[in-house]
Each structure stands twice: as structure tokens, then as C-alpha cells.
Amino acid sequence: MRGLMQDWPLLCHRIIEHAASIHGNQEVVTRSVEGPIHRTNYAEIRNRALKVSQRLDREGIKLGDRVATIAWNTWRHLEAWYGIMGIGAICHTVNPRLFPDQIAWIINHAEDRIVMTDLTFIPILEKIADKLPSVERYIVFTDKAHMPQTTLKNAVAYEDWIAEADGDFQWKTFDENTAAAMCYTSGTTGDPKGVLYSHRSNVLHALMANNGDSLGANAEDTMLPVVPLFHANSWGIAFSAPSMGTKLVMPGAKLDGASVYELLDTEK
């Protein structure tokens, strides 16, 4: 933890760098949207997140640009988070449980340039894509074998997309008060309202969450975040867990009782 505080500014991608160097072999387990259980670790997530940054940079995504994710809790979603924030772009988590018109309104209000999504949500996006003029392309969190035919603009399978990068890339440095993430309210009182999280606030929240309170975790612990990454940034778990090297178990799209219990039982 001390290593996070030694070099300023406080930037979100420093957390995954810390996790990869200190807790690189710690597992991150996912029930993939395609079905099988997938196992990786913090070192590999860091390496692939660098490829995400490299590809976004090649796409012309710059400081302050918004990149949307409409996705479940998976290792790919985590990689995208760190990759987006690593170049100073804003990771805009969109809640797929909202009405399609609300999703369109939110993406347009944020002026998202790229949408990264899971297979589950392709039908929703296809229905509203003609209402999303700012979106330049869609990246689907899957591989070539599972990539469906779709009418989404410039759609590409995530694995093919990052395969075009070698990962020889340096994450960028900028003011720690730069916006890192954004999410919108559910719009129960008028149009949804956007909320920004800064790099500084995310890092400080991670440090506080692991400072001995009831949410504190360590490298001997296992955490299963059922609360989605698109819900209030999953209470900051994407930063607090790796900062302490906690094993993450990501439930993917199956949030029914039997599926969650199976992960609780098999992954402890």
C-alpha cells in the first residue's frame, strides 16, 4: 500500500501496476458470458489493459474522451476499465437495466465515442444505434469464435482488437483530479444525472476501504462482487481489491442464486 503513496499524482492505473508487481499471481476468476470459467491474474490483466490503452490511443481517444462500457463483471471489463483510465479517458459505465431510450439519452449526453459491450447487450444496442451519432465503433467483449453477425457500426471482437497491440505502451501521467469514471443516476426524477469520479477520489477511496474497516480485505481473502461494475462503480471494488491483492471472483451474467452459490462454494 505504501508504494501507492510514494509517487504522485494518485492515478487509478497505479493501483493495477501495484497489484501486478506485488500480487501478480493472485487469481481473478470469471464465469464468462460465453459459459466456461476463466482464470487469469493481476499481472496478466495489467498486461492486457496496456493493450487496451494502446488500441484506444491508436483509435484517437484522448484525455477527457468518454468510452462507454455496457457489460457484466468479468475480467475483460476490468481490463477495459484500467485501459480506458490509463490514457486519461473517462470510463462511462452504462446501466443496461434502464429503458432503451434512457440508455440512448445517457450515451448521447456523455457523447461517448466508443462503446464496449458484452454479447448479452448487442440486441439492445442494435435497436438504438441509429440514435447514437457520437459512437464511432463498438467493441464486443468476446473472441472471434463467439462474435455474432451484427449491424453495429465498425463492430469488432475484443480479443481480435487487442491482438493488434503488442502492449509496448506507457500509461499517461496527468493531474490526479482528472475525471476517471462516470455513471448516471436512474432518472427517477427527470432525466438521468451524470456523476464524475476523479483519479484521486478513486485511489483515496481504495485506501480508505482497506484501512481496517468492515470492508477491508487482504491477499488471503476472496471477494465476489455481485454488485455490478455499472452500479456506483461496484463500490470501488475494482480498485480496493487489487490494491490489497484480494482474489476476485467475477460472476459474469449469471446472477441467479444457484450460479452465485456455486462460485461461493467452489472458489471459497
What is the domain partition of the chain in residue ranges? 14-267
pLDDT of residue 209: 82
Average pLDDT, the chain: 93
> Which residue type, as a one-letter code, is found at position 135?
V
The stretch 216-232 carries a mean pLDDT of 88
Sole residue written with cell 470492508: 215
pLDDT tier for residue 69 given thresholds of 50, 70 and 90: very high
Find the largest Cα–Cα distance for the chain: 49
The stretch 239-254 carries a mean pLDDT of 95
pLDDT of residue 3: 52
- Cα–Cα dist 85/66, whole Å: 10
Question: To the nearest whole percent, how much of the chain has pLDDT over 70?
Answer: 95
3-state secondary structure of 116: strand
- Cα–Cα dist 164/3, whole Å: 32
List pLDDT tens digits, range 105-119.
999 999 999 999 999
pLDDT of residue 129: 98
pLDDT tier for residue 7 given thresholds of 50, 70 and 90: low
- Cα–Cα dist 115/155, whole Å: 10
Length reported for the chain: 268
pLDDT of residue 136: 98
> Which residue type, as a one-letter code, is found at position 63?
L
Indicate whether 252 pLDDT > 90. yes
Q: Is 185 exposed, middle or buried (0-12, 13-18, 19+ CB in 10 A)?
A: middle
The stretch 132-141 carries a mean pLDDT of 98
List pLDDT tens digits, range 27-67.
999 999 999 999 999 999 999 999 999 999 999 999 999 99
Lowest mean pLDDT among 39-48, 143-152, 234-243: 234-243
pLDDT tier for residue 261 given thresholds of 50, 70 and 90: very high
pLDDT of residue 185: 86
pLDDT of residue 5: 53
- Cα–Cα dist 127/104, whole Å: 10
* 14-267 CATH pick, 2.70.98.90, 3.40.50.12780, 3.90.230.10, 3.40.50.10600: 3.40.50.12780
pLDDT of residue 86: 97
Cell of 47: 498486461
pLDDT of residue 212: 52
- Cα–Cα dist 211/119, whole Å: 37
